[in-house]
Amino acid sequence: MAEFSKIEWTDHTFNPWIGCTKVSPACDNCYAEGLMDTRYGRARWGVGQARVRTAASNWSQPRKWDRQAAKNGDRPFVFCASLADVFDNEVEEAWRRDLFKLIEETPNLVWLLLTKRIGNVMKMTGGVLPINVAIGATMPNQYEYDRDRMKLWEVKQEARPLFTFGSFEPLLGPIILDKNAPDWIIVGGESGANARPMELEWARSMKRQSEELGRVFNFKQVGGRKADKGGHELDGQTYFARPEIARLNATRPADLGRG
């Protein structure tokens, strides 16, 4: 995953475990693996490598955020996971069950589950999601969009998450969206020492298409190899929009209130 701190698209980040295997061109410069090499050194990447569950003290954090949200009367977004993939085949089922229990027990939080393994979601959840979950797929190029958008659409139709989202980051080429595009379109260029450049015209096109399709557009960063990540503006404007939870709740069928 990319680095998300100080980015307006989420309020908190939670990692239930650490470790992963690269499965997409979007993973080529995996930020999390880089951290393991330098700062954390806790988990090795790849097939057959053990994933490392984070400490109980870390698992208690979302409960604190949930209590605070209840007090404030808001619905903060929690991005899960930046150093792993929730729907990784090599993660123990029991860990994922524990995570979904935690999600159910923190109903004031909006959990953003972003995956590069969208094809696993239906089989790993049985098509049943806690009501405070949004599901996202990373789709960095046209090939992966064409391959994965209907899998995300199926999750939307069958499992009825709060909303769906597409992380088009790193955006590695121009993408033509269609009527099955996710509800929330998040676009960003890659950053870091080996960042692959994003042409601004690709991002502009995503913005135009989002508007035409009635989707919510969020622009995270231009990206690049410099420390400022190219800034957060697209043609002099910021786009930090999020789906409106109140409206989404209002349009949810009443019979979907299951855990």
* Vertex 142 angle, CA 234 and 128, to 5°: 95
Give me the residues that bind ligand SF4 (CB under 6 A), please: 1, 20, 22, 27, 30, 32-33, 84-85, 116
Shortest spacing between CB 118 and ligand SF4, in angstroms: 11
Following CA atoms 93, 76, 238, 176 in sequence, which dihedral angle do they give, to the nearest 10 degrees?
Answer: 40
Residue 123, number of CB atoms within 10 A of its CB: 9
Q: What distances in angstroms separate CA 43 from CA 20, 39, 55, 114, 133, one per listed residue?
A: 8, 11, 14, 20, 27
Rounded-to-integer distance, Cα 220 and Cα 26, Å: 16
CB nearer to ligand SF4: give 1 or 234. 1
CB nearer to ligand SF4: give 44 or 75. 44
CB nearer to ligand SF4: give 66 or 85. 85
CB nearer to ligand SF4: give 27 or 134. 27
Q: Which two tokens stand for residue 162?
A: 């709060």
Token match 């601004």: residue?
Answer: 200
Shortest spacing between CB 19 and ligand SF4, in angstroms: 8
For 111, the 3-state DSSP assignment is: strand
Shortest spacing between CB 186 and ligand SF4, in angstroms: 15
Alpha carbons within 13 angstroms on the beta-carbon side of residue 253 total 8
Position 240, amino acid:
F
> Distance between alpha carbon 9 and the CA centroid of its chain, in Å?
10
Number of helices and strands in the chain (H, E): 8, 11
Shortest spacing between CB 1 and ligand SF4, in angstroms: 4
39 touches 104 (CB < 8 A)? no
Shortest spacing between CB 92 and ligand SF4, in angstroms: 17
Shortest spacing between CB 28 and ligand SF4, in angstroms: 8
Shortest spacing between CB 78 and ligand SF4, in angstroms: 17
CB nearer to ligand SF4: give 33 or 148. 33
Q: Which two tokens stand for residue 29?
A: 């410069």
CB nearer to ligand SF4: give 45 or 153. 45
CB nearer to ligand SF4: give 1 or 203. 1
